[in-house]
Amino acid sequence: MSAQTPAPAPHGGDELSDLDREILAFESDWVSHAGAKDEAVRERFALTPTGYHQLLNRLIDLPAAEAHAPRLVRRLRRRRAARQEQRSARRLASG
CA distance 65 to 68: 5
pLDDT band of residue 92 (cuts 50, 70, 90) is confident
Q: Which residue has the higher pLDDT, 64 or 3?
A: 64
For residue 8, the model assigns a pLDDT of 47
Is the pLDDT assigned to residue 61 strictly greater than 60? yes
DSSP 61: T
From 95, 51, 60, 52, select the one nearest 78 (Cα to Cα). 60
Q: Which residue has the higher pLDDT, 7 or 26?
A: 26
Domain boundaries, the chain: 18-94
For residue 48, the model assigns a pLDDT of 96
**Percent of the chain at pLDDT exceeding 70:** 82
